[in-house]
Chain A
Amino acid sequence: MSVQQDTLVRTSERPEAEQHRIDKALARKMRKRGDESKFWWLIPTVYIIFLMLPIYWLINMSFKTNQEILGTFSLWPQNPTLQNYAVIFTDPSWYKGYINSIIYVVMNTVISVLVALPAAYAFSRYRFLGDKHLFFWLLTNRMAPPAVFALPFFQLYSAFGLIDTHIAVALAHCLFNVPLAVWILEGFMSGVPKEIDETAYIDGYSFPRFFVRIFIPLIASGIGVAAFFCFMFSWVELLIARTLTTTAAKPIAAIMTRTVSASGLDWGVLAAAGVLTIIPGAIVIYFVRNYIAKGFALGRV
């Protein structure tokens, strides 16, 4: 057997002194093994700074007047002003956009989770004719590009006279949120042992009572996660929401784009409006922060 002189191995054929030296070298090598580097925090820190810089810049701009933005380049507002926010909060065409967005987002979240609950239960507990195909077909709707659907949606909702209503946007967003909610909830429900259902039936619970009183509390975190995702995707979507609304239900994000071109680029107001669209998301994240890690795995790790 040919052995390299410096391989760090114990073999019986070596003299004692050399073996000792090899042991020491091996121990040194092993000491460093698997230990975390001391600078691990550098990577998430740099990444978070990268994430925060553009947002900071937006906030920074929102406290400046338009003259200051265009006139001097500064890392923080020289003469902080709330003027931009005042414009938004006093002009109904601005703040109504917020109310509209929140109304249809909440409607969509409630509808999506409510219809997804029984379906997810069926997928997680029963086998039935065509279940796998149905599940896959549902997921394909998550893959549908909104751009493909924008025009047909407009025609469909025109036919029903639903254009420019909140419910139209809420229903349209169900296209991608319902499949997602079913998928997430199915993952969480599969984690609940079936014995719990059976025990409840033996104890004399009817199905609806069991579902509401026992099962839903068990998957509360799953419902929270599903609601979070529905909120998120409905809140950030613009293409469909803008297509289906003209004035009465127009989302804030769409009002922003309009104002950019119309009012001769008032950067300060634009930035303030942008900051205000970030806030609801930030609040929602803060409330679900403890579920984020599990939620993003969709209950499936």
Chain B
Amino acid sequence: MARIDLNHIRHAYGPNPKSDKDYALKEVHHSWEDGGAYALLGPSGCGKTTLLNIISGLIHPSHGQLLFDGQDVTNLSTQERNIAQVFQFPVIYDTMTVYDNLAFPLRNRGVPEPEIDRKVRETLDMIDLASWANKKARGLTADQKQKISLGRGLVRSDVNAILFDEPLTVIDPHMKWVLRSQLKQLHQRFGYTMVYVTHDQTEALTFAQKVVVMYDGEIVQIGTPEELFERPRHTFVGYFIGSPGMNVMPVTLLGGMAQIGGHQVQLPSPAMPTAAGKIELGIRPEYVRLGRQGMPVKIAKIEDIGRHKIVRTRLENQEIAVIVGEGQDIPAEPHIAFDPKGINIYADSWRVGGQ
């Protein structure tokens, strides 16, 4: 296992990138810890797969260096980097048995048979497929096939990192949950460095210790699930994570107060930075209180999703979503109030203040 350093990496698919727009991946400069579980989260086309392919060596970055444990691997081929990868669609060797599938990477590297046998049996136990060892791989279900893909990485004890490229896309919903928890267990027991690409926030938040949110070729935030939820560094993170996403509204700052249309909201910290640009206030629906005090709103729609209700309200022309407990009733003349704990202030979409 290795620490991964992304040293000023940029990538453009075209030959002569001029402006920032030509880059599919804008500058990335980060260090990922040995044994960490990272999720790359973002919408399609945000550059997350490009970044993954740069790590695996399938793409050579236009600029910058990639280091594994301090060693420059930028110019090494995929084979030499000693990584494992699980793809979106199960990649297995159809004609081989499950056992041979797992033995394949070891045999290619000339490992002696007794050692192969030991490692393969160990891995089969890890991924719960021991009883399937002698079955042909082609007859298995999608989730078993994905486990084999994973197993081919696990069987090599010396891999630097295991990469996952949206591995649960073709898996049935109930098996997704099972696989995810098995994956997490494996990570906790054996401490692999794992990088997991997904566009599904639930997957990212449950799997990873650190979630890397990407947007438009940039990393907008790296943080624990809690940090992403409480303190989104960018309004995009606010929108993208949480269901429904964060309410973001344009405000003007006046001392310790924020002016929303005709209303004023008390900001948490007294010393708010004076920032230029477009100022917005972000607050998650979980921190908006619906009651008889505060700012008067109209209710547009109520969605009951079982555990709680999502109330879509309008404050003047601003839509604000509120989460209300299942038992709580909705007053005839609704008002909303913002919990100061949940207030974040953004200038040009980047977070400048809050609790």
- Residues of A near any B CB (own CB < 8 A): 1, 3-4, 7-11, 26-27, 30-31, 33-35
Contacts and interface: CB of A to CB of B under 8 A. Distances in A.
Nearest to A35: B77
Contacts of A11: 115
Contacts of B114: 1
Interface string B77-90: 10110000000000
Interface of B: 76-77, 79-80, 108-112, 114-115, 157-158
Contacts of A9: 109-112, 115
Contacts of A10: 157-158
A26 B77 CA distance: 13
B77 A30 contact: yes
Contacts, number: 34
B77 A8 contact: no
A59 to B, nearest CB: 39
Contacts of A7: 110-112
A31 B112 CA distance: 21
Contacts of A26: 109-110
Nearest to A26: B109
A1 B112 contact: yes
Given A27-B80, A30-B77, A33-B79, A1 B108 contact: no
Contacts of A8: 109-110
Contacts of B158: 10
B146 to A, nearest CB: 22
Given A8-B110, A26-B110, 19 more contacts: A1-B112, A1-B114, A3-B112, A4-B112, A7-B110, A7-B111, A9-B110, A9-B111, A9-B115, A10-B158, A11-B115, A27-B76, A27-B80, A30-B77, A30-B79, A31-B77, A31-B80, A33-B108, A35-B77
20 contacts: A1-B115, A3-B112, A4-B112, A7-B111, A7-B112, A8-B109, A9-B109, A9-B111, A9-B115, A10-B157, A10-B158, A27-B80, A30-B109, A31-B76, A31-B77, A31-B80, A33-B79, A33-B108, A34-B79, A35-B77
A31 B115 contact: no
Contacts of B157: 10
